[in-house]
Amino acid sequence: MFQINEVLSFDQRRYRILQLMGEHLVWIDIDDKSAFPEIASTDELRSAIEDEVLDRVQDPFSELTFLNPAEGSTAKTKRDRNYALIKPLLDLPDFYDPESRGAAINTILTSNETTKQTIYRLARRYWQRGQVPNALLPDYKNSGAKGQRRLARDKKLGRPRKYTPGVGAKVDEFTERLFRIAIDRYLLKDQGHSLPYAHRRFEKMYLNYFPDTPSEELPSNWQMMHFYKREYQQADTLKKRVSAIEYNKDVRPLRSTANTQVLGPGFRYEIEATIADIYLVSDSERGNIVGRPVVYMVVDVFSRMVAGFYIGFETPSYAAAMQALFMAVTEKTSYCKEMEFDVDINDWPSVGVPDAVLADRANCLGTRSKILRAISLSG
């Protein structure tokens, strides 16, 4: 009926079953920091179930079973050392008996440099957390007071200085107020000011309040950067540091992908013209530079397949874009044969007019672009 390591709630306390012994079992209170294994009667526990004062509850330390500390890590080294230290006590068949438990602890003390308090603390943690070696892992997750703000009282926070002279400034509420003024006034603007510039402006304000402060005792740029990253969200700072046009064009987060409103291959083509970063020379006189070519690419949005292209010297216009669009809607086998490439139609299957063509204003500017719209609608 009962199982080893399951957790029971009885009389508003949680107990873990450590061992089954016929009509009795050994359990321990997992919430008591000074608890020891105790013997309980299974008949009394069955009666408690019928009286609805005993329930099975979720094991709060179940995740320890699946932890796998890295080889050679400090956590694994401490776990293995602690487990080896208390193993003689854990191997006792009657570890619940105080006399047997005390004798095993005295044996451990004679062969190891440790204390009785340490052995009891480790054994209690092992029993309360599931009787697995991972129960002896150090609780690094509770270190550092994550998410809690630290207050500087007598001296500055952080490690002491080793190379820079001085002790450093303590960042109090008044200093943070000056930090915030400098950041809001000089950094969170679309004027391109940097954090060091904002810090220099802060130093000027700070010295106006405390003119006798040595330079090595001024709040540092790193302290201001820490305050900035802690108090300001990156999404908000990016929006304030650029203009509205630049934010909407280059900075704002994307809410969807290019395929959101695309049903499948051939639904939408995109065309773009780019001036190539290369200079071409004349065939007849290689010393004469002809110019930089304009490369037009037509890409199927859904499949990312290149449907067509065109290279010429025309400026981006509707006439030049039609050369690339013509290649995009026609089969390419004849063109590839002219270029001495043997390509089957299944190797480049982008043939036909798409449902939509997305282009910038230069490529589709003109009255003749309406013809393309009519062809797309009729197709």
What per-residue string of b and e applies to 25-62 under the rule 16 or more CB within 10 Å gives b? bbbbbbeeeebebeebeeeebeebeeeeebeeeebebe
Tens of pLDDT along 247-272? 888 888 877 777 778 888 989 999 98
Pick the CATH number of 268-378 from 1.25.40, 3.30.590, 2.20.70, 3.30.420: 3.30.420
| Partners of residue 296 on adjacent β-strands | 273, 310
Structure pTM?
A: 0.46
State the alpha helices, DSSP H only, in the chain. Answer: 42-50, 74-90, 98-111, 116-128, 173-182, 195-209, 221-231, 234-241, 244-246, 318-329, 333-338, 361-364, 369-378
CA distances from 68 to 72, 220, 230, 331, 356 (A): 12, 40, 32, 57, 53
Q: Which letter does DSSP use for residue 219 in this model?
A: P
Give first-to-last CA distance, the chain, whole Å.
73
- At 374 the pLDDT is 47
Cβ–Cβ < 8 Å for 26, 19: yes
Give 85's contacts (C-beta < 8 A, 6+ positions apart): 108, 112, 114, 118, 119, 122
Tens of pLDDT along 21-45? 989 999 999 999 999 999 999 999 9
Q: Where are the domains of the chain?
A: 7-142, 173-246, 268-378
- At 362 the pLDDT is 58
- At 376 the pLDDT is 47
Token pair 């809001």 is found at 184
List, run by run, the mean pLDDT of 10-residue segments along the chain (379 residues): 90 91 92 92 91 91 88 91 93 91 92 92 94 89 67 75 85 92 90 89 94 92 92 86 84 78 88 91 89 92 92 84 89 89 88 85 55 48
